[in-house]
């Protein structure tokens, strides 16, 4: 269904429109802090393969691309990383996840839970995720697929500002989330 022959147009950092959350711009990391590590480039063929898996898998791979961290370390992190976020963010990483939750709300995909399964096209180039302009049968630039890709890209770039977490801080401001964090200790 998807393959290397798919012609993909990339958004450059200068062409992407600012993402607004609650009327305010979603703050991008300082462009001067973006990492460039040529040693991580496998080969040019790898760079040209569009990523087009299901939503959660795309998010996993995009976080891995931008941060170099194991993405599952963020599952159950603080008050917002993972499912059903609530409370007050415990730190900057948790704030990134809170903004990501808000971004998914802004995307307004009409089918419930579509944000977890809808595929989109993107590429990882020099530790930077780029969303495609056209998502084939999943829609064009204003489609749900495009918006979800941009939300995941913004989260990945936000997380890129922080070192890989070694522990998952607990959320103490939400009893429900505190219980969820406690369960995550054993998973």
In the prediction, which pLDDT does 108 show? 80
Distances (CA, A) of 60 to 67, 116, 131: 11, 11, 15
Report, as residue numbers or ranges, the catalytic residues: 100, 152
Q: Where are the domains of the chain?
A: 39-184
Provide the whole-model pTM.
Answer: 0.67
Angle between helices 144-159 and 55-67 (to 10 degrees): 30
Question: Confidence class of residue 119 from pLDDT cuts 50, 70 and 90?
Answer: confident
Per-residue pLDDT of 30-55, as tens digits, reads: 433 333 332 333 333 333 334 334 57
3 annotated to a ligand binding site = no
CA distance 23 to 3: 38
74 annotated to a ligand binding site = no
Per-residue pLDDT of 123-171, as tens digits, reads: 999 999 999 887 777 778 888 899 999 999 999 999 999 999 999 898 8
87 annotated to a ligand binding site = no
The fold of the 39-184 domain, in CATH, is: Phospholipase A2 (1.20.90)
């Amino acid at each position: 269904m998807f393959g290397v022959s798919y012609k993909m147009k990339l958004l450059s950092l200068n062409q992407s429109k600012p993402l607004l959350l609650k009327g305010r711009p979603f703050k991008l990391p300082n462009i001067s802090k973006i990492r460039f590590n040529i040693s991580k480039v496998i080969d040019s063929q790898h760079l040209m393969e569009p990523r087009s898996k299901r939503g959660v898998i795309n998010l996993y791979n995009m976080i891995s691309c931008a941060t170099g961290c194991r993405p599952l370390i963020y599952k159950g992190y603080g008050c917002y990383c993972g499912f059903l976020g609530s409370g007050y963010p415990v730190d900057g990483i948790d704030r990134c996840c809170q903004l990501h939750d808000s971004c998914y709300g802004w995307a307004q995909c009409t089918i419930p839970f579509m944000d977890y399964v809808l595929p989109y096209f993107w590429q990882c180039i020099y530790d930077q995720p780029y969303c495609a302009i056209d998502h084939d049968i999943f829609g064009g630039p204003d489609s749900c697929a495009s918006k979800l890709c941009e939300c995941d890209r913004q989260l990945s770039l936000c997380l890129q500002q922080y070192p890989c977490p070694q522990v998952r801080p607990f959320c103490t401001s939400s009893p429900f989330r505190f219980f969820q964090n406690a369960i995550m200790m054993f998973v």
